Amino acid sequence: EVQLVESGGGLVQPGQSLRLSCTAAGFTFGDYAVHWVRQAPGKGLEWVGFIRSKTYGGTTEYAASVKGRFAISRDDSNSIAYLQMNSLKTEDTAFYYCIRGFAVAGTYSLDYWGQGTLVTVSS
């Protein structure tokens, strides 16, 4: 069974940093991309960024709202992806989901989602 479990959320002050982890199981982690999507409480979904599999270079892409502040990395040997969040703002408050990215027809299907972890940025 495919599983993704996020951890590391919590309450931080504006300007501080936080690192989220996404631990995967039930599939060959290194063969897939990992995407991050966030959802402010009671709001819609916002794509944050993703990291390609090593097969596709292991490179990253980010939404404009987080570029330069957030960084995604991966440890394929332990089936973990990370979202390093720096210079956090109050508007970064959200549930953060990690999602498996299945490469199909030249794009990605975000097919399995974790349960999410809540990040609250407040003074």
Shortest Cβ 10–another protein spacing (Å): 19
Q: In which element (H, E) is residue 69 found?
A: none
Residue 14 structure tokens:
């504006």
Does residue 44 bind another protein (CB under 8 A)? yes
Q: In which element (H, E) is residue 28 found?
A: none
Does residue 27 bind another protein (CB under 8 A)? no
The site map against another protein for 55-94 (x = CB under 8 A) is ------xxxx--x---------------------------
∠ Cα 98 54 9 (to 5°): 25
- Measured distance CA(51)–CA(85) in Å, rounded: 15
Does residue 115 bind another protein (CB under 8 A)? yes
- Measured distance CA(35)–CA(37) in Å, rounded: 7
Does residue 110 bind another protein (CB under 8 A)? yes
Interface with another protein by CB under 8 A: which residues? 37, 44-47, 49, 61-64, 67, 97, 104-116
